[in-house]
Amino acid sequence: MATQPRSLSGKVAVITGGGRGIGEGIARALTAEGARVAVGDLDAPAAARVAESLGPDALGLPLDVTDLPGFTDFLDAVERRLGPIDVLVNNAGIMPVTPFAEERPESIVRQLEINLHAVIHGSHQAVSRMLPRRAGHIVNVASMAGKSGFPNLATYCATKHGVVGLSEALRAELRGSGIEISVLMPGVVETELATGLGTAKGVKVVTPQEVAAELVAALKVPRFDIFVPRSAGRTYYAASMLPRKAREAFARALGIDDVAKKDPARRAYEERAAASAPAVEAEQEKAAAAETV
């Protein structure tokens, strides 16, 4: 018998990095399903704009996911305003493109804090809130870069592999608890983050709306792996059956090595990404000042 899709009507859903791109698409899709949505974003006006456009039941608040106490306070504020959190989408992330030998230490720290540490913290907070109710769904946004390696994205790939590993472990640990875990793995998506990126042969570039639709489907009928497009998942599993040399040759034939290269068109995005972890950078400045005293 087919599984009856779950209703999302009235559910409280939180999306980090929801002020634009994939996060905004997810917020709109969940609102269309009747969910009560809270959007958090470092860009407070963007979060407010999205929430206002979603209607009176939506909430938009400033959120620096690298400020861990602030992240906790944000979730507390959502629960005071909207009720217990049913769905948490750990979506906030950045993707600088640079050869690893040229990457600055602060870029590495920034990605680790935003793309991985914040996802761990958000997941930890969600689990602690959902376990007593034995209900909830955590969606961690990774990437196809969490399953493969791409030149000029070494640190990004490391963080997204970490997100996949975290999600795998939580799925095993929480089996039978009532908490569902999913990991979202899009390929190239039509967002600012993907500006100037190439594409692999035969891999479709998708829209934020298509990503959001797959996420909604996985919330209604829970599944762990959410590949977008779904064909990327089939390609990944087929390639994983090959010996390493053959698998790498297959990837090169698809043009994987040419997906992420420095491009002047990325300048605006790269500059914004470089200013996306104020809490971490403030701590680094304090530590540097203390060393000079």
CA 219: distance to chain centroid? 16
Residue 242, both tokens: 């090959």
Residue 27 burial (CB count, 10 A): 29
What is the pLDDT at residue 230?
A: 92
What is the pLDDT at residue 263?
A: 74
Mean pLDDT of all residues in 86-90: 98
Using the structure block, give the residue that is written with the tokens 């917020």: 27
**Domain parsing of the chain, residue ranges:** 12-292
Tell me the pLDDT tens digit for each residue of 204-228: 889 999 999 999 999 999 999 999 9
Question: Is a pLDDT exceeding 90 seen at residue 76?
Answer: yes
pLDDT band at 200 (very low <50, low <70, confident <90, very high): low
| CATH assignment of 12-292, among 3.40.50.720, 3.30.470.20, 3.40.50.620, 3.40.1350.10 | 3.40.50.720
Integer angstrom CA distances of residue 16 from 6, 101, 128, 129, 258: 23, 31, 18, 17, 30
Helix axes 118-130, 68-82, angle to 10 degrees: 40
Question: How many residues in total does the chain contain?
Answer: 293
What is the pLDDT at residue 254?
A: 77
What is the pLDDT at residue 290?
A: 67
Tell me the pLDDT tens digit for each residue of 29-58: 999 999 999 999 999 999 999 999 999 999
**Rg value, the chain, Cα:** 19
What is the pLDDT at residue 293?
A: 58
What is the pLDDT at residue 238?
A: 87
Helix axes 154-173, 118-130, angle to 10 degrees: 20
Mean pLDDT of all residues in 168-192: 94
Is residue 118 within 8 Å of 16, Cβ to Cβ?
yes
Question: Is a pLDDT exceeding 80 seen at residue 282?
Answer: no
pLDDT band at 292 (very low <50, low <70, confident <90, very high): low
Q: Which amino acid is at 121?
A: H
Tell me the pLDDT tens digit for each residue of 107-150: 999 999 999 999 999 999 999 999 999 999 999 999 999 999 98
Using the structure block, give the residue that is written with the tokens 């914004």: 272
CA dihedral 207, 265, 103, 278 (to 10 degrees): -70
Q: Which amino acid is at 131?
A: L
Q: Which amino acid is at 19?
A: G
Catalytic residues: 156
The C-alpha atoms of residue 171 and residue 157 are separated, in whole angstroms, by 21
Tell me the pLDDT tens digit for each residue of 232-267: 888 888 888 989 999 888 878 877 777 777 778 888
Helix axes 230-240, 244-254, angle to 10 degrees: 150
- The torsion angles phi and psi of 209, rounded to 5 degrees, stand at -65, -40
The C-alpha atoms of residue 186 and residue 97 are separated, in whole angstroms, by 17
User: Which of the residue ranges 71-80, 230-239, 268-277 has the most confident prediction, judged by mean pLDDT?
Assistant: 71-80
Question: Is a pLDDT exceeding 60 seen at residue 2?
Answer: no
What is the pLDDT at residue 1?
A: 42
Q: Which of 210, 88, 94 is nearest to 145 (CA)?
A: 94
Mean pLDDT of the chain: 92
